[in-house]
């Protein structure tokens, strides 16, 4: 009998797998593409941890709570910031080649952090360095890695998770794997939106799997839009790291004006939601499809040392970032909400756990603090492997549970992934209002009800995207306020009555 099935092969899946292997547990890891094709690989900025001489967990806690806009769970945030430094040192010991300065780990500052606490590798290639290292570690364990294997369903017996059903992406063969515990480590859902920094594999699979199995899903309305994705003709939605602004990069409009100065005391280093909305508003007011991120005033050798990947990608499109500003625009980046877990990663379905972007631990609240996501993975992966048997703990933060029941209306618009992404970007994007959300929800339900039973990986992904899109849109319509990454034109104020989590379950 397997001890663990782990679904996903980013930092969440690989780190959890190697921890389980250290405990001599029998582990099967399934992932729908090649092992290293995941969101982690594209993470640039780094990992936040209070390991600096003048830093402390208390300062990190304070910054995280401020960014979370009143609905980060203080208990979860304390776990993150107090246990984080030890987990980071364990990652260092596994061989991740973090950048150093004068023999010590180099620490940088990013938006909304009060101290320099971001560890990075390869300048701006932190995710790739971590993914490569962990893939190598796992390859040298007894973990049974099954690439090109999609998890299509969580198997339940007597209300408990007992395994997953699978589909071989290459042969179409179906199978099932059983284990004592199932860990979802499937990452995010950036493919919901027309503009995203996420790779094509980010289709909300874990949220959909857990929701169909009866687990609670929360905070989906707080999908984070990264302020600065590359906006060049013919270029992909490539992330321009927060760290560029942390090192002194500034945002300018076409006239060369620093528009963020008038919007927030921290200007370019304001929380992500503030900067993303600031850029979006500036684009509307200047009738432009981008603004500029300018590092031309910084020493060229510093720029090339810290941001070699960004410089190389821009150069391949004819842009020298040491001499010309970078055209940027917001793009969907991070699923702040997800499957509700307790402080041990347990979901409301017995034996089902969630780690990383797919989970909602309470750490991020309404807006994730830059570089806290990779740290959350390390902390909760360890807690999952050491979690005692038993039901999910009682919530430590106020919440309201809502059962979803929706009937479809007749609709003539044919479904396509591109149509879904356009709809979500237009109606459920950076700023929302009731009419657009309601219209989107009716369309999503119509598409859902018209779907045939999935048979291919692409069809399962589309089904998962529809479930995830519906949850996000439903939550955004219900939350009649603006808070963090969730902005409503028709409810522009933050309301105390909404200082709680909205947990969605199947009706």
Residues 49 and 86: their CA atoms lie apart, in Å, by 9
The span from the CA of 44 to the CA of 51, in Å, is: 20
List, in sequence order, every beta strand (DSSP E) within 64-143.
100-101, 104-105, 107-108, 118-119
What phi and psi values does residue 358 have, to the nearest 5 degrees?
A: -70, -20
- Asked if 170 is an active-site residue, the reply is no
Closest CA to 328 of 340, 310, 303: 310
Which of these is catalytic: 272, 306, 479, 488? 272
Residues 133-150 as b/e (b if ≥16 CB within 10 A, e otherwise) read bbbebbeeeebebbbbbb
Give me the DSSP letters along 19-70.
Answer: HHHHTT--EEEE-SS-TT-SSGGG--S-EE---STT--HHHHHHHHHHHTTT
| Neighbouring residues of 30: CB distance < 8 A, sequence distance ≥ 6 | 5, 6, 7, 146, 149, 150, 151, 164, 166, 177
Going by their DSSP bridges, the two strands 27-30 and 2-7 should be labelled as parallel
CB proximity list for 241: less than 8 A, separation 6 or greater: 44, 45, 124, 228, 307, 310
- β pairing state of 118-119 and 107-108: antiparallel
| SS3 at position 363 | coil
Q: Please state at what angle helix 11-22 crosses helix 126-139, rounded to 10 degrees.
A: 30
Which of 91, 124, 85, 65 is CA-nearest to residue 12? 91
Residues in the chain: 507
CA distance 299 to 309: 17
Give the angle 331-112-122 at the CA atoms, nearest 5°: 70
Is 108 strand, coil or helix?
strand
Q: Distance between CA atoms of 461 and 187, rounded to whole angstroms?
A: 13
Phi–psi pair at 43, nearest 5 degrees: -70, 125
- The catalytic residues are 272
């Amino acid at each position: 009998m397997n001890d663990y099935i782990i679904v996903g092969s980013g930092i969440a899946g690989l780190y959890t797998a190697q921890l389980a292997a250290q405990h001599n547990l029998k582990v099967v890891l399934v992932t729908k593409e090649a092992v290293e094709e995941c969101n982690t690989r594209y993470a640039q900025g780094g990992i936040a941890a209070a390991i600096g001489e003048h830093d402390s967990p208390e300062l990190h806690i304070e910054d995280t709570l401020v960014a979370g806009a009143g609905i980060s769970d203080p208990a979860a945030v304390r776990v993150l910031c107090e246990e984080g430094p030890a987990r980071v040192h364990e990652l260092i010991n596994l061989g991740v080649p973090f950048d150093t300065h004068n023999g010590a780990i180099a620490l940088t500052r990013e938006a909304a952090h009060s101290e320099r606490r971001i560890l990075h590798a390869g300048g701006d290639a932190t995710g790739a360095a971590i993914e490569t290292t962990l893939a190598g570690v796992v390859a040298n364990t007894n973990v049974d890695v099954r690439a090109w294997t999609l998890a299509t369903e969580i198997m339940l017996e007597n209300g408990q998770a007992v395994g997953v059903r699978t589909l071989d992406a290459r042969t179409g063969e179906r199978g099932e794997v059983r284990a004592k515990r199932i860990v979802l480590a499937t990452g995010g859902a950036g493919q919901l939106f027309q503009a995203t920094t996420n790779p094509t594999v980010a289709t909300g699979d874990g949220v959909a799997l857990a929701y169909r199995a009866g687990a609670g899903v929360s905070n989906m309305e707080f999908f984070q839009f990264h302020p600065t994705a590359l906006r060049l003709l013919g270029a992909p939605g490539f992330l321009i790291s927060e760290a560029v602004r942390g090192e002194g990069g500034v945002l300018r409009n076409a006239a060369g004006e620093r528009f963020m100065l008038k919007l927030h005391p921290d200007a370019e280093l304001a929380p992500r939601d503030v900067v993303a909305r600031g850029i979006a508003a500036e684009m509307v007011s200047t009738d432009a499809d981008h603004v500029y991120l300018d590092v031309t005033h910084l020493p060229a050798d510093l720029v090339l040392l810290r941001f070699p990947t960004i410089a190389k990608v821009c150069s391949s499109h004819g842009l020298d970032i040491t001499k010309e500003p970078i055209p940027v625009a917001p793009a969907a980046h991070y699923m702040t909400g997800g499957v509700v877990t307790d402080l041990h990663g347990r979901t409301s379905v017995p034996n089902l756990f969630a780690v990383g972007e797919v989970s909602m631990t309470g750490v991020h609240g309404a807006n994730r603090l830059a570089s806290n996501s990779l740290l959350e993975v390390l902390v909760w992966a360890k807690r999952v492997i050491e979690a005692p048997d038993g039901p999910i703990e009682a919530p430590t933060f106020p919440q309201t549970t809502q059962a979803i029941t929706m009937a479809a209306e007749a609709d003539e618009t044919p479904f396509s992934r591109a149509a879904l992404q356009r709809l979500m970007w237009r109606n459920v994007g950076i700023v929302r209002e009731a009419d657009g959300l309601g219209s989107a929800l009716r369309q999503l339900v119509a598409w859902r009800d018209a779907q045939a039973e999935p048979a291919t990986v692409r069809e399962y992904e589309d089904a998962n995207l529809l479930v995830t899109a519906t949850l996000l849109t439903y939550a955004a319509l219900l939350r009649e306020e603006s808070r963090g990454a969730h902005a409503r034109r028709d409810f522009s104020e933050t309301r105390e009555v909404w200082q709680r989590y909205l947990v969605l379950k199947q009706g």
